[in-house]
């Protein structure tokens, strides 16, 4: 087994890649939520100046990319690989965002976990010596997602309490070989976990078992316990999934602790914003991470973070065919200090 590997699912970096900058762009509803001060840009126009919501999503994602480049004082042409994905069929949100960029491009699909794939692969390519600058980016748009996955917006379908609200948001992080951090120190890559849940209006329940498995693997591979981290932030389990995850650990006698939260819980005020179980979408964890989480790390609130985006790997077709909904989760360990401690 390679010396860079700890256990079956985790790798540790010799030279932890640094996060040079994050860019995050969101819609009006997200801009009214508790994280409003952390976003780089909030658009009052759900079309982002375009003619369709699909083009809006690409525009928003590209804006987050350019914002991250500007903040890192890098030109787009300095980026050696872009890892990008979204929820639209054939991932066109990403490909149309980057089609004029000339950046070598790896398209990803991991549903709402996509951003974690990009962070993981980008970090490995930088630590491995293949690149000095990589972008990890993902997006979702409430309107493009609703009409693709559920109903036309005009239909006004009712949503059960377990449903989550697809975030209109995009986030890009630039990873660099040299930099002042925060650093990615470990990556734990998840396998697909299908616990047999079939309710497409309860994604949290579908994804929580995958989050549990990946976090367990991370703790086992690294020898760390949850209290090593100042914050453990899952992707977008929402209220229901977060409760299930907490319960699963409690059954093992492990208290995930008050530092455990979820991007889908952070992004909205559930009491005031009528989002039911919280936020979701591939742009949820990327927009929350690229603003809020990064800045809470650098200002000293959370020196050590375990970031674990989750995804539900079904489609409307598989659900109509009666299939259960497989979940996945990838965990990224971050530290404001480069030396791996503990």
Distance of CA 200 to the CA centre of its chain: 20
Per-residue buried b or exposed e for 43-71, using 16+ beta carbons within 10 Å of the residue's own CB:
beebebeeeebbbbbbbbbbbbbebbbeb
> Which residues sit opposite 24 in a β-bridge?
171
Q: Least distance to a copy of itself from the beta carbon of 15, Å?
A: 11
Q: Are 112 and 90 in contact (CB under 8 A)?
A: no
The answer to whether 190 contacts a copy of itself (rule: CB under 8 A) is: yes
Compare residues 54 and 236 and give the one whose CB is closer to a copy of itself.
54
The answer to whether 225 contacts a copy of itself (rule: CB under 8 A) is: no
Other CB atoms within 10 Å distance of the CB of residue 320: 9
Q: Least distance to a copy of itself from the beta carbon of 151, Å?
A: 16
Interacting residues of 32 by C-beta distance below 8 A, sequence separation 6+: 273
Q: Least distance to a copy of itself from the beta carbon of 45, Å?
A: 18
The answer to whether 90 contacts a copy of itself (rule: CB under 8 A) is: yes
Q: Least distance to a copy of itself from the beta carbon of 303, Å?
A: 26
Contact pattern for a copy of itself over residues 315 through 334, marking x by CB under 8 A? xxxx--x-x--x-x------
| Interface positions, 149-188, toward a copy of itself (CB under 8 A) | 177
Compare residues 110 and 238 and give the one whose CB is closer to a copy of itself.
110
Q: Are 23 and 64 in contact (CB under 8 A)?
A: yes
The answer to whether 3 contacts a copy of itself (rule: CB under 8 A) is: yes
186/105 Cα distance (integer angstroms): 23
Compare residues 220 and 298 and give the one whose CB is closer to a copy of itself.
220
Determine which residue in the list 34, 47, 71, 107 makes contact with a copy of itself, applying CB under 8 A. 107
| Interface positions, 69-88, toward a copy of itself (CB under 8 A) | 80-81, 85, 87-88
The answer to whether 54 contacts a copy of itself (rule: CB under 8 A) is: yes
Phi, psi of 224 (to 5 degrees): -90, 160
The answer to whether 314 contacts a copy of itself (rule: CB under 8 A) is: yes
Interacting residues of 236 by C-beta distance below 8 A, sequence separation 6+: 112, 164, 167, 203, 207, 262, 263, 264, 278, 279, 280, 281, 284, 285, 309, 310
Q: List residues near a copy of itself by CB under 8 A.
A: 1-5, 8-9, 11, 51-52, 54-55, 80-81, 85, 87-92, 95-96, 98-111, 114, 117, 120-121, 124-125, 127-132, 148, 177, 189-194, 313-318, 321, 323, 326, 328
């Amino acid at each position: 087994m390679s010396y860079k590997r700890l256990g079956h699912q985790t790798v540790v970096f010799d030279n932890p890649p640094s996060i040079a900058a994050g860019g995050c762009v969101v819609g009006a509803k997200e801009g009214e939520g508790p994280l409003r001060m952390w976003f780089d840009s909030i658009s009052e126009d759900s079309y982002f100046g375009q003619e369709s919501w699909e083009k809006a999503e690409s525009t928003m994602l590209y804006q987050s990319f350019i914002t991250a480049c500007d903040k890192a004082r890098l030109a787009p042409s300095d980026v050696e690989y872009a890892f990008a994905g979204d929820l639209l069929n054939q991932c066109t949100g990403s490909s149309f965002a980057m089609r004029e960029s000339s950046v070598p491009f790896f398209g990803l699909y991991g549903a709402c976990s996509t951003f974690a794939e990009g962070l993981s692969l980008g970090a490995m390519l930088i630590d491995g010596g293949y690149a000095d600058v990589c972008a990890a980016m993902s997006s979702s748009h409430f309107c493009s997602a609703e009409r693709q996955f559920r109903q036309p917006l005009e239909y006004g379908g009712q949503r059960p309490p377990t449903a989550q609200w697809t975030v209109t948001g995009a986030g890009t992080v630039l990873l660099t070989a040299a930099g002042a951090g925060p650093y990615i120190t470990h990556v734990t890559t998840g396998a697909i976990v299908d616990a047999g849940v079939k309710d497409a209006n309860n994604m949290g329940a579908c994804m929580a078992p995958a989050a549990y498995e990946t976090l367990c693997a991370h703790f086992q591979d690294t020898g760390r316990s949850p209290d090593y981290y100042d914050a453990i932030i899952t992707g977008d389990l929402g209220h229901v999934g977060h409760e299930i995850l907490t319960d699963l650990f409690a059954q093992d006698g492990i208290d995930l602790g008050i530092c455990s939260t979820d991007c889908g819980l952070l992004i909205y005020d559930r009491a005031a914003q009528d989002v039911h179980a919280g936020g979701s979408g591939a742009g949820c964890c990327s927009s929350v991470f690229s603003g809020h989480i990064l800045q809470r790390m650098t200002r000293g609130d959370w020196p050590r973070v375990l970031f674990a985006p989750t995804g539900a790997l079904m489609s409307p077709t598989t659900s109509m065919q009666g299939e259960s909904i497989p979940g996945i989760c990838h965990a990224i360990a971050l530290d404001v200090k480069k030396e791996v401690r503990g």
